[in-house]
């Protein structure tokens, strides 16, 4: 299979990375080092967390629906059929990963877990280094100058 037809990642395992970071945060909070710096307690953090989590789920559904509507696979172990620049992809090149990160932040606020709040940006950095760069190379090989133009006008995250 040539580079033009090769998928960006061999396995679609990034939800497991985010899930693993969440689980590690829960273990850290419950059994190793309960966070006491930020005092994420009370009604305001819970309400803010619910709003952020709702926004994250809506963004994820919007992004997935946009990809399905344009007949391009959502799974990373499939080759992109089309460069998606509509819907949430007008504002961010990675709305699904952004939604995962926002969901972690929302969950951290809802459950008062400081470790999850710290893990969210770290997980986003890991995602950028192990997945997004490969996806971008795949899209560059597949769509060339159209992808370069898209990158110039649309941020990677927000």
Total domain count, the chain: 1
Torsional sign, CA 47, 53, 58, 59: positive
Q: For residue 77, give every residue at least 6 positions away whose Cβ sits within 8 Å of its Cβ, in sequence order, or none.
A: 7, 9, 10, 11, 12
Dist. CA 80–CA 65, nearest whole Å: 15
**pLDDT 10s digits, 18-35:** 999 999 998 988 887 776
pLDDT confidence of 42, banded at 50, 70, 90? Answer: confident
Q: Is 32:58 a contact under the CB 8 Å cutoff? A: no
Of 3-17, 72-86, 134-148, least confident by mean pLDDT is 3-17
Whether pLDDT at 68 is above 80? yes
Whether pLDDT at 139 is above 80? yes
Count of C-beta atoms within a 10 Å radius of residue 53: 20
Tell me the residue range of the domain where 52 lies. Answer: 42-73+88-158
**pLDDT 10s digits, 75-131:** 766 777 899 999 999 999 999 999 999 999 999 999 888 899 999 999 999 999 888
pTM: 0.88
Q: Is 40:117 a contact under the CB 8 Å cutoff? A: yes
Which residue has tokens 């919007």?
Answer: 62
Residue range 4-27: mean pLDDT, rounded: 75
Dist. CA 102–CA 96, nearest whole Å: 10
For 36, phi then psi, to 5°, come to -135, 5
Q: Is 81:71 a contact under the CB 8 Å cutoff? A: yes
- For residue 138, being part of any structural domain is answered with yes
- For residue 3, being part of any structural domain is answered with no
* CA neighbor of 8 nearest in space, from 111, 150, 127: 127
Token duo for residue 141: 């090989």
- For residue 81, being part of any structural domain is answered with no
Whether pLDDT at 10 is above 80? no
**pLDDT 10s digits, 47-67:** 999 999 999 999 999 999 999
Whether pLDDT at 2 is above 50? no
Whether pLDDT at 1 is above 50? no
- For residue 25, being part of any structural domain is answered with no
According to the model, what pLDDT value does residue 29 have? 82
Torsional sign, CA 139, 140, 146, 150: positive
């Amino acid at each position: 299979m040539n580079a033009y037809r090769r998928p960006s990642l061999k396995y679609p395992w990034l939800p497991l990375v985010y899930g693993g970071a969440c689980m590690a945060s829960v273990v850290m909070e419950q059994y190793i080092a309960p966070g006491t710096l930020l005092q994420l307690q009370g009604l305001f953090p819970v309400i803010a967390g619910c709003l952020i989590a709702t926004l994250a789920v809506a963004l994820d559904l919007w992004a997935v629906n946009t990809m399905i509507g344009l007949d391009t696979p959502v799974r990373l172990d499939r080759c992109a059929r089309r460069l998606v620049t509509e819907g949430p992809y007008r504002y961010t090149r990675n709305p699904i990963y952004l939604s995962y990160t926002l969901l972690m932040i929302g969950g951290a606020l809802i459950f008062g877990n400081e470790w999850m709040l710290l893990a969210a940006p770290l997980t986003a950095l890991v995602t950028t280094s192990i997945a997004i760069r490969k996806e971008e190379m795949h899209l560059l090989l597949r769509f060339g100058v159209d992808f370069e133009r898209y990158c110039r006008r649309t941020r990677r995250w927000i």
